[in-house]
Structure 1
Amino acid sequence: ALGAAEEAARLNGYTLDMQHVARIAGFGIDQVNLKGHTFSFDRDIFDALDLANVKTFAALDPAAVKARIERLPWIDTAELSRVYPGRLDIRVTERTPYALWTRDDRHYLIDKTGRVLAAVSGDTLPKLPHFVGEGAAAGAAPFMEQLARYPEISASFATAERVSDRRWRLKLTNGTTIELPADGEVGALEAIAGDEALKRLVVAGNTTLDFRGPGRLAIRPEKQPAAPAPAPGTGS
């Protein structure tokens, strides 16, 4: 109807302010309610809605607005619904932090897909699986799902570092490091799981198991951190 009115006015030599006409006709957006967000900023969602230019439902492109909102870092899904006469409800669901990713000495929260949610800083970082290196974010969830099949290793997971975006270096909380090959990382984990002597080495800690050489395993003991020197006595 609004389009027909605009065309009729154009044919008669008039230019209608369609936003104004739409508001008079009851299509104005007078109120916007946001629900479901905790980490996303209201202003970012309103910017995606583009209220400066979209003031009526006639001018609103719901699919475009939904796409813009879902491009915001924390947003997973967005739903738009009109509540008569002039209210727009926007309900969003946010993504869940899955891991901590370190790149170039900067830390980021990522979700299960590897999407960066936010930068984090400070002395206390979130207690999430920690991944390091270029390409580690995208491979974090598949690697953890694979590692979960080996509880003797995954129970002591500390950090997984992506090396040259080709392979993983796995570090455990007890000081064990497992250098996995670029090809056949599952085979290396299977070799540990199926060998009681290797499992004991992994559990004992402070050892590097290097599977990078084709068909061979190198085992290197690591130096334990030196114990702090005792404080000098105060005397009597």
Structure 2
Amino acid sequence: MPKVKGKTQKRAPQGRRRTAPPPPQVEPSRADPASIVTGLVLVVAVIVAGAALLGGSMSKLGAGVSGAVDSTAASLGFAVQDVRIVGLQQDTCRARLVQQTAGIETGDNMFRADPHTIRRRILSSGQVTSAQVYRLWPNQILIHASPARAAAVWHDGEAWRVIDGTGQIMEGLAAQDYADLIRLSGAEAPAGVPALLRFLAEAGSVSERLSYAERVSRRRWDIRLRNGLLIRLPPDTSVARAAKELAALDGSARLTERSLARIDLRVPERTFLEPLDETDAAGVPAES
């Protein structure tokens, strides 16, 4: 029998061998300090939560979690160690009040010391005209406050006292050094200073001719101009409305320069005038 020739297997042409790509280099991950702190806090919180669920109420759960978070933050160095106030070095009493209002004490959790919340507390106290709060990690709170300026002098029945724009008495200042400021009288007059200043700021040229202001019933003002004209204002909550009405009348009819004994702005949209030569007569309403 003839031999069966087997098929010759063709070999693939030899070319350049492909070099295998190098294995990817694995770099060790770097731990983020903030992530570590957050992780530890969460772990402790979970442990406390489990314990509370097994044998406590929801109120105890919340207290436990809060206490655990604060303790963990303190152990890691994130607790308030210093509250520094800048801008009130000359007024230690006001600085102390600002710190109390801020509501931050040594040992508090830095993560809970929200600058925006602290700033709102300080401004609501009326002790300063502006405030900026900074959280300086890991353990300091910086408060930069601007004190109010002297705005008036008030006679308290015994002596003259200097009052700032927020209605606070400025201790240690001599009233004779502020003779050009507004003179005030009446019980609890300082508390109404912010409202009085708002009125004067919006009432046109009245502030330039003001002689003094008297606090009435601890809730509103009567102001006297240098020409003798008395202007009766409404309660403090309505001074903006009164200022707008007076400015409009003064601009169109120069009302405060006329021969009048009294202008009464206490009734909304009704301005009552009392002529100078008829001080015993009833008030005459004017359109407003």
Alignment TM-score, normalising by the size of structure 1: 0.59
| Counterpart residue number, 2:214 | 161
Does residue 170 of the first structure (1) align with residue 227 of the second (2)?
Answer: no
Preserved contact between residue 78 and residue 92 of structure 1 (Cα < 8 Å): yes
Letter in 2 for 1:142: F
How do 1:137-216 and structure 2 match up within 5 A?
A: 137=193, 138-143=195-200, 146=203, 148=205, 154=209, 157-161=210-214, 168-172=222-226, 176-180=227-231, 190-191=254-255, 193=257, 210-211=261-262, 214=273, 216=275
1:74 aligns with 2:127: yes
Question: When the two structures are superposed, what TM-score results if normalisation uses the length of structure 2?
Answer: 0.51
Give the SS at the match of 1:27: coil
Gaps spanning 5+ residues in structure 2: where?
1-37, 53-63, 234-241, 264-271, 280-288
Cα 1:119–1:105, aligned 2, differ >3 Å: closer, same or farther? Answer: farther
Kept in 1, the 8 Å contact 2:74–2:107? The answer is no
User: Aligned-pair distance for 1:57?
Assistant: 0.5
Q: 1 CA distance for matches of 2:168 and 2:124? A: 11
- State yes or no: 1:25 paired with 2:76: yes
Deviation at 1:22, TM superposition (A): 0.5
| Equivalent residues of 2:45, 2:68 under 8 A apart | no
Distance 1:191 1:29 in 2: 59
Higher relative contact order (CA 8 A, sep 6+): 1
Same amino acid, percent of matched pairs: 15
- Give the residue type in structure 1 aligned to 2:277: A
Q: Which has the higher Rg, Structure 1 or Structure 2?
A: 2
Cα gap change, 1:216/1:48 in structure 2, threshold over 3 Å: closer, same or farther?
Answer: closer
Higher helix share: 2
> CA separation of 1:32/1:149 partners in 2, compared to 1, >3 Å: closer, same or farther?
closer
What do you get for the CA RMSD once the two structures are aligned? 4.2
Work out the CA distance in 2 between the residues paired with 1:23 and 1:150. Answer: 54
1:190–1:44: structure 2 CA closer, same or farther, 3 Å change rule? same
Determine the structure 1 residue equivalent to 2:25.
Answer: none
* Structure 1 residues not aligned, in runs of 5+: 199-208, 221-236
